[in-house]
Structure 1
Amino acid sequence: MSRLTKRPRVDHAATADRLRAHPGEWLEVGEYRSSQAAVGVAYLVRTASVKSGVSPYEPAGSFQAVTRLTEYGARVMACYVGGEESHGPDQHAVRPMQDHERVLGQIERGEVVAGAEGARRIAARAMDAYGTAVWGSDPDTAWADACVSLTTGGAE
């Protein structure tokens, strides 16, 4: 059984300095054994996230990062796109999106349909897929029965 060769650890401070010295140019950050590790590092580069201390990639959004699969894992490439050179709070910092913001955005863009229209589409798909086995011969009656069942807790 062959042993994986040990790779040198990435000096992120030096990498961030090198990227800042070459703005707009894509340079290698490092190569990782798993694509998941590379995706995580790319996220940390873009968001300037660290568990403690100060990220060398601050302020958040100053760097772009992508991953590319390689023969032995995945490579992270990054590009300095600019940003304020302060390490203080950044008004443009990437923040996690709340679930309600994400869902409302999906509804506005038409990616998710809610309300009566969404219910009609779901019923139509079920009717197409299963015929009358699910909704019975009269879908309107089945829909009314379902609404009554929801409001009465299943007891009629």
Structure 2
Amino acid sequence: MARYARRRSADHQTSAAELRARPHEWQHVHTYRATYGAASVAREIRIGGFGGTYGPPGSFEARTQTVDDGTAVYARYVGEDGIWAHALRSLFVPERRPEDEAT
């Protein structure tokens, strides 16, 4: 039974920093053997996951693409002020209300 060679893990801190340095440019983040793994990572990037590394929600776009050795994740930084970013923040970041601050 053949074994797969061990792959290095994705470095999301570095990827997010590189994406922010070159906004609106699609860049390769990592390639995963399983499509579901790549899809999960792409979703986390879009909603600002990985401990806020790709935050706030909506400031990054992500997509997957089938390649010879698995499924690649590509992402780009689109900024924090776009309508998409605002819409996602409204879903994932609780809104602060004046009465919350009174307590």
Taking the aligned partners of 1:65 and 1:9, their CA distance within structure 2 comes to: 18
Q: Which structure ranks higher in relative contact order (CA pairs < 8 Å, sequence separation ≥ 6)?
A: 2
How many residues are paired up? 88
Alignment check: 8 A CA contact 1:61 1:94 kept: no
Look at both structures and tell me which one has the larger radius of gyration over its CA atoms: 1
Output the TM-score relative to the length of structure 2. Answer: 0.78
In structure 1, the partner of 2:19 is 19
Q: As a proportion of its length, which structure holds more helix?
A: 1
Hey, what does 2:76 align to over in structure 1?
79
In structure 2, the partner of 1:95 is 91
Classify the secondary structure of the residue corresponding to 2:74: strand
Q: CA, structure 1 residues 94+71, in 2 after alignment: closer, same or farther (shift >3 Å)?
A: farther
Structure having the larger proportion of residues in strand: 2
Q: Which amino acid aligns with 1:35?
A: T
TM-score (norm 1): 0.52
Between the aligned partners of 2:52 and 2:64, the Cα distance in structure 1 is 20
Q: What stretches of structure 2 of length at least 5 have no aligned partner?
A: 93-103
Secondary structure of the residue that 2:56 maps to in structure 1?
coil
Runs (4+) of structure 1 exceeding 4 A deviation are none
Segments of 5+ residues of structure 1 without an aligned counterpart are: 85-89, 97-156
How big is the alpha-carbon RMSD for the aligned residues of Structure 1 and Structure 2?
A: 1.8
